[in-house]
Amino acid sequence: MSRVVFYSEPNDRVRLAEDLAPDDLDVSVIDPDLPWDERKELLADTEVLILGGLAMPYEELVQLPKLKMLQLMSAGYDQIDVPAVREQGIFVSNNSPQIARSVAEHALGLMLTVQHKFVPGLEGVRDGSWRNPVRSGVYEIGGKTIGIIGLGNIGRLVATMVRGFGPAEVIYHDTANIPAEVEAELGVRRVGFEELLSTSDIVTVHVPLFSETLGMMNSDAFNLMKESAIFINTCRGPVQNEADLIDALNDGQIRAAGLDVFEVEPTPADNPLLAMDNVVVTPHLAGSSEERVERALVFSYQNARRVISGTEPEGQFEVLK
């Protein structure tokens, strides 16, 4: 029976991975905190390695002679040297379609929380004062211009969701060619990067992290945005230059931000973003819905079957910039 390993520290996902394991695959769980010599022996016959949120160093991967595929539970792949792994004949696949709804809903939740000032409103109830500190500065999403940077699986769902709030112009920027029929179906319009920044009321980023997106939201980008605009990031922290973002928020260059990700995670307790009244933060949990985890596991096992049977997997990466 073909060997599939779910590579994760003990948590609730491990139990679900075991519960969903199909009978035709020999699925086991290995804790990455075990010493390498012990892990190497346990992984020796592994054909498919499902990474439950953790990366494995390339130096270790190449010591697994039967490995055919790395299956990520995440949409992001910045922790894996994909070209180097592919050169070894090992497929690398992500879980982008399965995680998309969870992240898109979270991005929308951050938009709502920032626009409607849910946090100070909640504090005014919990402290017993029933004070209303949010009589001004509350804004709707409907009628605004929403700028989506990256129109992949997640960006497309965001485009669909924001239209549920009423009339809105949805524009996007992407280096990939998006078919005209997809644009028409979503009701989106392609614009240049600078035009998106200068005309959007809400800028939300949904791009992978690689050399061209590293620090793309920097002082130059924030300076182009409206002073009334808000910035949303649920993809990867290093896409934003955090020092520049802090300056833009302090200087009133942009109005507010909603962040699920940071340059360094966990972010230091003294990170100025954590103390700002115009910033809403969550601890990188956009893709953590129960439904998403189950979808990702089912997809991972289906992909394992494909590779073991000699078929190429879905969601694979060939070449990265």
269 contacts: CB under 8 Å, gap ≥ 6: none
d(CA 162, CA 171): 12
Handedness of CA 63, 68, 73, 76 (dihedral sign): positive
Active site residue 284: yes
Q: Which one from 116, 190, 284, 305 is the annotated catalytic residue?
A: 284
Q: How many CA atoms lie within 13 A of 24 on its CB side?
A: 7
Where would I find the beta strands (DSSP E) of 8-114?
A: 26-30, 48-51, 69-72, 91-93
Q: Which of 41, 123, 227, 265 is catalytic?
A: 265
SS3 220: helix
Among candidate residues 156, 206, 236, 292, the one labeled active-site is 236
> CA 270 from chain center: how many Å?
24
- Residue 173 is a catalytic residue: no
Q: Kindly state the helix (H) or strand (E) to which residue 202 belongs, with its residue range.
A: strand 202-205
Q: Measured between alpha carbons, how far is 50 from 73 in angstroms, rounded to an integer?
A: 7
Residue 265 annotated to the active site:
yes
Give residue for tokens 């211009």: 145
Catalytic positions: 236, 265, 284
